[in-house]
Chains A and B, each alone.
Chain A
């Protein structure tokens, strides 16, 4: 075959032993495939079950629900690909909002100062998680379970100590509130439908995370530390720095999420956020992340979040009792995971 047209470079060179892979088959090999199938199924289901589900205005609502979760599902997915968990991610969002609000209220007149301080504090907590993990070599499940409980207690205790109640004081009349609100909690109207700005944040983060994962050295290291930390260390990958970086990523997104919470509701309830950490993990797993690390995608986590948004709002549109929501979420998780495993087996077998 080389006699007809020798390949000019290795890129165009196609091995004759390779059967031609159709684009469809390539698509099937993507980690997020199971979640795409699941998302379509959920979409069709609620389109039939709820008349108002297909209204354009519903789109904005569903996407908003998906984005608030999706912003956190992205870094949690990256962390899971890197082989670790963060159970403190849910309450960290609340901590970030509380710090921002209370620092602004107590110390200054400008909310932007609080926003900045909150970023530093949140990143410090993320760094704490990362350093504890790499120093003690304990499982991240234990470490972040500890931070989760400590933060839950601190959120309630400190808020009561400083504000006197379980929620923060209003900061709506303070300087910079409107500009901060514009950044973290404004709405855009496109074609008569209202979209929250968090949707933009979410899309941007998914794009950024995908870029990092697939096209940077750091992304290569994330896959490596999750897929085989010892092998990665043996070839000179900075395993500890990579893991700490991933925890900082979770903290950064918790900060964005927390500021959204603060500037859309003005006051923050200190008991919020408990239980959300599991929903972030669920979104990542539905999206095709391997719970043992080394495999997954940021786009998958976004689709997982979208399934969450469609289910939580679809039940409302179908006028069912929202008590059923958790049942649906659990069933989705099981189905998506089974589907992922089955598809991966099929794809690997046909290779």
Chain B
């Protein structure tokens, strides 16, 4: 594999000891994350662990307060989401991915529509948009029946996949996925994870935010565990087992306590 040589170069995205405070609230402290080309870095954590804050920093919605944020070795502070997009970081939000009433091909090119002609006759290149959408989706392994159908008629998983394919098509180098499998069934989740892997195989660096260690372990190369705003662990695939990951994620001792609490009082 080529990954052995690739690891020598600078990571696509590198967070080093990054912290973020909202007034006197510590949202994130001392978090480090590395995203390399052709790898999937998973960020795991329960609700309120700081996952959203972390992706908002990477996506350019918020700015970090301390620590360093490097993109391809260059230290940066992103001003807004457009900044992040221009540097090749595309974020797919779970509920903000698409406009449901619009056809798939219109959604695919939304905001970056190709045109032909000039002056008052400048118009959408509809033929190109339709064929490109079909081809780009096919390349990701998504075989749509009809690119003219409203995207709202697709399942949640398919919609995520279209959003991922769109990011790949428009030349993203880093793909940030916010809980792509959270609202999906087992089968749908599997489909989405397949496309996440397909994006990785095309050489993208992927940040996968999730609270499901099973999904993370299936595809992830690196794992960062967040708990109450601080890093509770950082592993590579070789150095951790699924059981360990699950236990750390759920907070082993907390789970133990929970079992005691839930236990039926015996003898009554």
Contacts and interface: CB of A to CB of B under 8 A. Distances in A.
Given A231-B96, A294-B101, A351-B149, A13 B82 contact: no
Contacts of B149: 351
Contact of A234 (B96, B113, B124): B96
Contacts of A215: 123-124, 126
A216 B110 contact: no
Interface stretch (B50-58, B129-137, B184-192, B233-241): B129-137
B142 interface: no
* B85, B101, B123: residue with the most chain A Cβ atoms closer than 10 Å: B101
Contact of B111 (A18, A232, A290, A351): A232
A322 to B, nearest CB: 39
Contacts of A221: 110
* A227, A237, A348: residue with the most chain B Cβ atoms closer than 10 Å: A227
B130 A10 contact: yes
Interface size range of chain B in the complex: 20 to 34
Contacts of A235: 110-112, 166
Contacts of B123: 211, 215-216
Interface string B81-122: 110010000010100111111100010011111010000001
A319 interface: no
A217 B124 contact: yes
Contacts of B113: 217, 220
* A9, A231, A237, A351: residue with the most chain B Cβ atoms closer than 10 Å: A231
Interface string A206-217: 000001000111
B243 interface: no
A233 to B, nearest CB: 8
B23 interface: no
Contact of A236 (B100, B101, B112, B130): B112
A15 interface: yes
B99 A231 contact: yes
B264 interface: no
Contacts of A11: 127, 130-131
Interface of A: 9-11, 13, 15, 17-18, 211, 215-217, 219-221, 223-224, 227-228, 230-232, 234-237, 290, 294-295, 348, 351
A11 B126 CA distance: 11
Contacts of A237: 110-111
A104 to B, nearest CB: 31
A226 to B, nearest CB: 8
B145 interface: yes
Given A220-B113, A231-B97, A294-B101, A236 B153 contact: no
Given A10-B130, A11-B131, A348-B153, A227 B102 contact: yes
A230 B102 CA distance: 14
B111 A10 contact: no
B146 interface: yes
Contact of A230 (B96, B101, B130): B96
